[in-house]
Structure formats: structure tokens, C-alpha cells
């Protein structure tokens, strides 16, 4: 058998003996893998999950737990929010960037209510409460929240705002007991294992195994340093996560994330992408990244965010991940939050899921001119921004960026500035191009026989923009599709 260091496909004819067998082999036991396993098993397949670590969960189990769902889910309805698949689609087409896979977005929106019900049927709990304040996540176990800027400019003029961030109910978040992502993964893993899905832990895939027609018929993995050849009678599902921790891929595809991975796990080394590329797989949107921003949304909404030149650039009451992307990609990672004492006090009196982002200000001053000088900005750079903001804020308006009136108030004195330069980190969104059945596409335009993929090793809904819940969302939705298609 060839060198384990290579990721080139291995010919089945070179395998003298298969160590293990299953109908469907799933690489990775995160959100995409567990959903693939459940649907494959329900379709009658004997399923084997290979997981590199010692337990189920992947990045999903550590995530806040947003699943982006809508179109009129029972939870949306129970909480009084109208939504339709078409309204959801209109929003996602506007928010997720140019070059999106339109068919995939339409498909996802049409199937969203059914997917919600499926998750519930697997035991994923959602509490019927809504959190309406700015934030990265609900501070308690609320089940629904805006998680993509749906109710902020410019999207609130494009589609009817509806919250779509669905969060599994936590056991007891107040005492730090288990995240929403854990509470998503746990019932799904139990469901999978209840269906007889087998799991091999500490098992890392290295290469795909193909027959003489280039059909994928298995994987070569390592277990405690030993190579194992695993036969997949019907198909292999790649669900191995992003490439956030593959240094060379980050440099080559998404260099703005160099040195700043986040919300990913070190196992996210791009292996699923690479082994499929070695078979000629097509890629998409390799530069796209989710970007977190280490700011407290309650504070940001009540102040103004300015870039390295002292200029406003985004409505401060939008989805904070959108602020992160704009800051990293469009503002060279330069940002300052300007807020007056009264608004800061109001912000600090609110509840938040991110109290650790509530640090003391970097500078405080009696006047904008003084603050501007302390910050090292040229004269009038910040003053001009504040003057223009205050002129319109006196009427409760923000014609420049469209922040909602409830957050618009003139900036008074004393005031402070928070240095938020470099306050970003994120994970990659690009990967294998898959079709609606989660078949991995070859660059020639046909699917690669026997190979399926879902989750962050694929290019899913997001072409450049992001909404919280899109990764657990498309990972679970297209994980199911992968499992179904592989079981056929």
C-alpha cells in the first residue's frame, strides 16, 4: 500500500483485504455527518461513521447552536412571525453575496419548514421564546432570534423581516451547561445510534479508494497510526468540516484569515476538500469567510462604528457577523466604537451573551475634538463624522446608513472610543461544489460517482455573505440529502 502521506486516490485493485465494510461510510461526526448517517440508516443502509476525535460533535457541538430556518416554521408561527419560503429566499439572495448557488438557496428555503420538523422529530428541542435585543446569541435559552440582519438596513427594505435563527434549548445556559450546538448534536447522535449506525472513533481519513471506473468505493484511514481500508458499498459522505486550520490553504484561498481562525476546530484541516480535489472535484467560493467581531452588539447599536479614517461604514444595529465581514474585508480590519457616557451606561445595563466583550474604553474625552486627537486621527476626521451623524440623529434619522430610529440619538459628552482594530476572526465557507443531492461535482460537470459531501467542506448557501445558522443549517439539510443519495 502506498505512502499514507499522499492524498491521491488509491485503486481498489491495490487493496488486498478490506479491514471494514459498510453500505455508506461517513467521514466526520459533526452536524453534516450525523444527519447523513440518520437518513442513510433510515433508507436501509448499514452506516459506518469515521470520526477523527474521540467523540461525536465536531465544531457543531461547540457552536452557539443557531440553525438558519424559516419560511414559516412552527416556532416562527408560535412566536407571531410571518415568513414564507419566497420571503426567506429574497433575503438570502440579497444577504449571502453575489455568485450564490440560486438553485440551492431556493431548495433550502422550500424545504426549511420540513427540515425544522425533522429536527424536532429527532428530539431537538426549541423553546417558544424570542430574544429581540441586539446580540450574538440569546443570553438565555430563547429559541428564536434575528441572526442575519433581516431587520436592519438594507435588508429590512428588501424582504419582510423575520427572525430565522433557531436555537436548540440548552440544559441550563446560566450555569454554563452545554451550548445550543451541543443540544443539537446530542439528540441527533442518539437518533443515529438508535438506528444502528456504527462509529469508529480515533479514525482519520487519508485517501479515497476508487475502482477502475473512478467510482469511489471506500476510504483509506488511519487508526492509531495503522492504516485501515474501509469499503463503502454504496457511497462515501465527506463531512469533515472547513479548512480553517490548513495553513497553506488559508494562505492560498482566504489569506485575510491568516492567524485568525475562530469557531472552527483544529480538525478542520481541509482533508475532505483535498481528497475530492485529487479526484477532480470542482470548488466554489474558496475566499468566502464567516467573520466574528469581538464587540458587544448592545454597545455597538448604541454608538457609531468608524473605520481607520474615522468614517462610518455600516448600520451598527445589524447582525454583528456582517459588521465583522465589513470590517475585515472592506475596512482593512480597522474599527473604533464611539459612544457617549449615557449610551454606554444604557448598554451596560442590558443583558448580553457576550459580557466578555464589555471591556473598558481605550480613550475617554469631553469633546469629539479631544477624542479625535487622542486617537491620532487627523483633525475633522472624526468630528465631521459625528457632526453629520448628530445633525440627522436630532431628528431620529440615519440617512447615511439606515440604522433604525430606536438606536439613533445624538452623541453627547463625555464620550469614549474603543479601539477595535484587529478584532476579527472566522472560519472558511468555501469548498466542494455539490448539487442538490449533495453529490460532489467533477470539474467536467458530472457528479463523481460514489462521492457525496455536506457541511463546511462544501460551498453551501453562502457565496460571500453570512448569516448565523447557515452552517448548522446547510450542514444538517444537505447532510440529510447526502445520506439519502448515498444510500441509494
* Residue 388 binds a second copy, judged by CB under 8 A: yes
Residues facing residue 155 across a β-bridge: none
* Residue 313 binds a second copy, judged by CB under 8 A: yes
CB of 19 to a second copy, least distance (A): 23
Phi–psi pair at 275, nearest 5 degrees:
-65, -30
Q: Where are the beta strands (DSSP E) in 273-394?
A: 283-284, 289-293, 304-306, 336-340, 363-365
Residues 328-357 that bind a second copy (CB under 8 A): 329-331
**H or E stretch at 319:** none
Contact mark string toward a second copy, 58..97, x via CB under 8 A: ---------------------------------------x
Interface with a second copy (CB under 8 A), residue from 258, 374, 394, 412: 258
Stretch touching a second copy by CB under 8 A, among 5-13, 142-150, 359-367, 404-412: 5-13
* Residue 422 binds a second copy, judged by CB under 8 A: no
Interface with a second copy (CB under 8 A), residue from 8, 86, 121, 194: 8
Quote the CA–CA distance of 252 and 234 in Å, as a whole number: 34
CB of 198 to a second copy, least distance (A): 30
Quote the CA–CA distance of 205 and 274 in Å, as a whole number: 11
* Residue 285 binds a second copy, judged by CB under 8 A: yes
**365 and 415 in contact (C-beta within 8 Å)?**
yes
Cell of 488: 441509494
**Smaller CB separation from a second copy, 74 or 252:** 252
Interface with a second copy (CB under 8 A), residue from 186, 302, 403, 433: 433
**H or E stretch at 198:** strand 198-200
* Residue 391 binds a second copy, judged by CB under 8 A: yes
Stretch touching a second copy by CB under 8 A, among 28-36, 54-62, 103-111, 392-400: 392-400
Q: Where are the beta strands (DSSP E) in 78-197?
A: 130-131, 144-145, 165-166
Stretch touching a second copy by CB under 8 A, among 23-31, 116-124, 136-144, 305-313: 305-313
* Residue 327 binds a second copy, judged by CB under 8 A: no
In this structure, how many other beta carbons lie within 10 angstroms of the beta carbon of residue 339?
24
Q: Kindly list the distances between the CA atom of residue 267 and the CA atoms of 120, 144, 175, 242, 333, in Å, as whole numbers in the listed order.
A: 29, 30, 28, 9, 26
The residues, any chain, with a CB within 8 Å of residue 444's CB and separated by 6 or more, are: 280
* Residue 212 binds a second copy, judged by CB under 8 A: no
Q: What is the CA radius of gyration of the chain?
A: 24
Residues 358-387 that bind a second copy (CB under 8 A): 378-381, 383-385, 387
Q: Coil, strand or helix: which one is 411?
A: coil
Interface with a second copy (CB under 8 A), residue from 262, 278, 364, 373: 278
* Residue 464 binds a second copy, judged by CB under 8 A: yes
**Smaller CB separation from a second copy, 256 or 404:** 256
Residues facing residue 439 across a β-bridge: 452
Alpha-carbon dihedral angle through residues 299, 304, 306, 310, given to the nearest 10 degrees: -130
Residues forming the site for a second copy (CB under 8 A):
6-8, 97-99, 250-256, 258, 274, 277-280, 282-287, 309, 311-313, 329-331, 378-381, 383-385, 387-388, 391-392, 399-401, 433, 442-446, 459, 463-464
Amino acid at each position: 500500500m502506498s505512502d499514507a502521506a499522499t492524498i491521491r486516490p488509491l485503486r481498489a485493485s491495490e487493496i488486498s483485504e478490506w479491514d471494514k465494510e459498510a453500505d455508506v461510510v461517513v467521514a466526520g461526526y459533526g452536524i453534516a455527518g450525523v444527519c447523513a448517517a440518520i437518513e442513510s440508516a433510515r433508507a436501509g443502509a448499514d452506516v459506518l461513521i469515521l470520526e477523527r476525535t474521540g467523540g461525536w460533535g465536531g465544531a457543531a457541538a461547540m457552536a452557539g447552536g443557531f440553525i438558519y430556518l424559516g419560511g414559516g416554521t412552527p416556532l416562527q408561527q408560535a412566536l407571531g412571525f410571518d415568513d414564507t419560503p419566497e420571503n426567506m429566499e429574497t433575503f438570502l439572495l440579497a444577504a449571502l453575496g453575489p455568485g450564490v448557488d440560486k438553485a440551492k438557496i431556493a431548495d433550502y428555503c422550500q424545504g426549511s419548514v420540513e427540515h425544522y420538523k425533522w429536527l424536532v422529530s429527532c428530539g431537538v428541542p426549541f423553546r417558544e421564546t424570542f430574544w429581540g435585543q441586539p446580540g450574538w446569541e440569546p443570553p438565555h435559552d430563547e429559541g428564536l432570534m434575528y441572526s442575519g440582519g433581516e431587520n436592519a438596513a438594507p435588508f429590512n427594505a428588501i424582504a419582510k423581516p423575520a427572525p430565522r435563527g433557531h436555537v436548540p434549548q440548552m440544559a441550563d445556559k446560566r450555569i454554563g451547561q452545554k451550548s445550543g450546538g451541543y443540544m443539537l448534536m446530542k439528540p441527533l447522535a442518539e437518533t443515529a445510534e438508535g438506528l444502528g449506525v456504527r462509529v469508529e472513533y480515533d479514525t482519520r481519513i487519508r485517501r479515497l479508494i476508487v475502482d477502475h471506473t473512478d467510482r469511489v468505493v471506500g476510504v483509506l484511514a488511519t487508526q492509531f497510526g495503522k492504516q485501515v481500508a474501509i469499503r463503502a458499498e454504496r457511497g462515501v459522505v465527506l463531512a469533515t468540516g472547513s479548512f480553517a486550520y490548513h495553513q497553506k490553504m488559508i494562505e492560498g484561498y482566504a489569506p485575510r484569515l491568516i492567524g485568525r481562525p475562530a469557531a472552527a476546530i483544529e480538525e478542520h484541516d481541509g482533508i475532505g476538500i483535498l481528497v475530492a480535489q485529487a479526484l477532480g472535484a470542482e470548488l466554489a467560493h474558496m475566499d468566502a469567510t464567516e467573520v466574528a467581531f469581538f464587540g458587544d452588539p448592545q454597545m455597538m447599536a448604541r454608538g457609531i462604528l468608524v473605520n481607520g479614517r474615522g468614517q462610518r461604514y455600516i448600520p451598527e444595529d445589524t447582525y454583528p457577523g456582517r459588521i465583522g465581514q465589513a470590517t475585515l474585508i472592506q475596512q482593512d480590519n480597522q474599527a473604533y466604537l464611539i459612544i457617549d457616557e449615557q449610551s454606554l451606561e444604557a448598554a451596560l445595563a442590558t443583558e448580553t451573551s457576550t459580557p466578555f466583550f464589555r471591556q473598558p474604553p481605550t480613550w475617554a474625552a469631553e469633546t469629539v475634538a479631544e477624542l479625535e486627537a487622542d486617537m491620532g486621527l487627523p483633525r475633522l476626521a472624526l468630528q465631521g463624522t459625528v457632526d453629520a451623524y448628530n445633525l440627522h440623529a436630532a431628528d431620529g434619522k440615519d440617512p447615511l446608513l439606515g440604522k433604525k430610529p430606536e438606536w439613533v440619538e445624538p452623541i453627547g459628552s463625555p464620550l469614549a472610543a474603543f479601539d477595535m482594530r484587529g478584532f476579527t476572526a472566522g472560519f472558511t465557507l468555501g469548498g466542494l461544489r455539490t448539487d442538490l443531492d449533495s453529490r460532489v461535482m467533477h470539474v467536467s460537470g458530472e457528479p463523481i460517482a460514489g462521492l457525496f459531501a455536506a457541511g463546511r467542506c462544501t460551498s453551501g448557501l453562502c457565496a460571500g455573505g453570512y448569516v448565523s445558522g447557515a452552517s448548522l443549517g446547510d450542514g444538517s439539510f444537505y447532510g440529510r440529502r447526502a445520506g439519502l443519495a448515498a444510500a441509494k
